[in-house]
Amino acid sequence: MKKLVAEFFGTFWLVLGGCGSAVLAAGFPELGIGFVGVSLAFGLTVLTIAYSLGHISGAHLNPAVTIGLWMGGRVPAKDILPYVVAQIIGGIAAAAVLFVVATGNGNEIGSFAANGYGEHSPGGYSMFAAIVSELVMTFMFVLIILGATDSRAPKGFAGIAIGLALTLIHLITIPVTNTSVNPARSISQAVFVGDWALSQLWLFIVVPIAGALLAGLVYKAMAAENKKA
């Protein structure tokens, strides 16, 4: 239960900090933080939770990460569903808080930092571009997580590597999809936007999980070869 509570609050912080920066601060007239600020915000949420709650639950904060770690041999199958449920509930709770704040000035929520492609992509990118982007970026993210948390990796630096990796991923792909690589983050915003966000949500669930599974397989093979060598 302690692990699930940690995953709830960790994912809550990721969505509140990351999506909150996008909804409330990114486009604020003259002082907006822009894409760079939002990218840093997502990275900082992971960095801070990794060092504060990582010792309790591992700080997955992402169903794709949990599934990728399972494929990589790091997480037992019995933990997948409870972790994923805690992550999704945490994300939705954060989106609810953000909804209350975002509508506090009488404005509509707009796109609410939801993930999308085609006409709902910030840069007008196609569904195929979105699939490639989410697949490759989730693959690299989970690969980095597996490597940084390996028992043979330098101790104490995993949170930094993972946080910076998520920052870099956002710097690259916000214009393409608003960056998901995390089904819980995508679900949380889509629930409040509804309509197009829910109809496109499948991509931001299926593709990140596929990328994570592939990363787990690849890292397991690389780690096994390294041990033999």
pTM, two decimals, is: 0.93
Contacts of 58 (CB under 8 A, 6+ apart): 3, 69, 75, 149
Which residues neighbour 57 within 8 Å (Cβ) at sequence distance 6 or greater?
2, 3, 4, 6, 7, 10, 83
Residues 141-162: pLDDT tens digits? 999 999 999 988 888 899 999 9
| Angle, helix 127-148 to helix 158-177, in steps of 10 degrees | 180
For 82, residues 6+ apart whose C-beta sits below 8 A from its C-beta are: 4
Please give the span between the terminal C-alpha atoms of the chain, in angstroms, as a whole number.
39
Rounded to an integer, what distance in angstroms lies between the CA atom of residue 24 and that of residue 44? Answer: 17
Task: Please give the domain boundaries of the chain with CATH numbers for all domains.
Answer: 2-228 (1.20.1080.10)
Distance CA 77, CA 81 (A): 8
What tens digit of pLDDT does each residue of 71-109 get?
Answer: 999 999 999 999 999 999 999 999 999 999 999 988 888
Contact call for residues 133 and 177 (beta carbons, < 8 A): yes
What is the spatial distance between Cα 132 and Cα 116, in angstroms, rounded to a whole number?
A: 13
pLDDT in tens, 99-136: 999 999 888 888 999 999 999 999 999 999 999 999 99
Instruction: Give Cα 17 distance to the centre of its chain.
Output: 12
Can you tell me the distance from the alpha carbon of 168 to that of 171, in angstroms, rounded to the nearest whole number? 5
Q: Tokens 């639950």: give the residue.
A: 57
